Amino acid sequence: MTNVTYDYSDRTVIVTGGSSGIGRAIAVRFGGADARVINADLQADPHEKGEDTPTHEVIEDAGGRAEFVETDVSDPAEIEAVVEAAREFGGVDVMVNNAGTLVYGSVLEVTPDEYELMESVNTKGVLFGCQAAARDMLGRGVEGAIVNTASIRTDTALGGQILYNMTKGAVKMITRSAAVELADEGIRVNAISPGRTVTPLAKGTEEAAEMSESGELVKPIPMGRPATPDEIAPGALFLASDEAKYVTGEILTLDGAWSIY
């Protein structure tokens, strides 16, 4: 368990896609800050993604409060269901729309089925995650926070990932549009924008796509290495915290200066 940096006691946090990678690191970090954490993922068992212990058990073993709710974010009804589950703890205070997927393929190769998959998870899941959380917050008169997971692909294109680039670009505009609409209600909407990060999702496809034949990165990272999920997670905690109470509509880039180099 990481050291507590923020105090989220008496707050309920939903993290979609919290069973592995960045989502898992975010969920565990919120748990370490005394939040009640709900991991909303398709599966609790993380073994297929290289983890040994389910996220909610990691949090509970460290003395925190957490649970798992099986959730397919491509179905708005299931997102509503996990928000309903949060009402058992008083309702959602922080919504982290992190769940995402990746299909590798160029503009000449992608299929309609692949498009539907990427759009339904990466775009629709974020939009209706914002909607469900905001409705709950408004109904309770809570000034909550929503944090979406975008990507440096929001603003930079990588060949062979047109669907991922497209959907992450949409996350940026969902974030900004929702921020404008909800600002006077006291609900802040921001996003983190990770660069290359060592996660199960990134292994293979993105890693291979960014390597030259010599094995070197096509575009070197100025800091000399990719990030770990634990280095990305604090950005979400900051954006959801009272330290960022005048921050909304922002995309916080966490990429070791990759995108500006």
Q: Are 258 and 219 in contact (CB under 8 A)?
A: yes
Question: Whole-angstrom distance between the N-terminal and C-terminal Cα of the chain?
Answer: 34
- How is residue 2 annotated by DSSP? P
State residue 211's pLDDT score. 43
Active-site residue flag, 104: no
Q: Is the pLDDT reported for residue 46 higher than 70?
A: no
List 115, 164, 246, 261, catalytic entry: 164
| 65-70: strand order across its sheet | 65-70, 36-41, 12-16, 94-97, 145-149, 188-194, 251-254
pLDDT tens-place string over residues 47-104: 555 667 999 999 999 999 999 999 999 999 999 999 999 999 999 999 999 999 999 9
Model pTM?
Answer: 0.90
Residue spans of the domains in the chain: they are: 12-254
Domain 12-254 has CATH 3.40.50.2300: no
pLDDT tens-place string over residues 163-210: 999 999 999 999 999 999 999 999 999 999 999 888 765 554 445 445
Strands 65-70 and 94-97: unpaired
pLDDT tens-place string over residues 217-235: 556 788 888 889 999 999 9
State residue 155's pLDDT score. 87
- At 245 the three-state DSSP class reads coil
pLDDT tens-place string over residues 116-162: 999 999 999 999 999 999 999 999 999 999 999 999 988 888 888 99
Name 131's Cβ contacts closer than 8 Å, sequence gap at least 6. Answer: 76
Q: Are 247 and 238 in contact (CB under 8 A)?
A: no
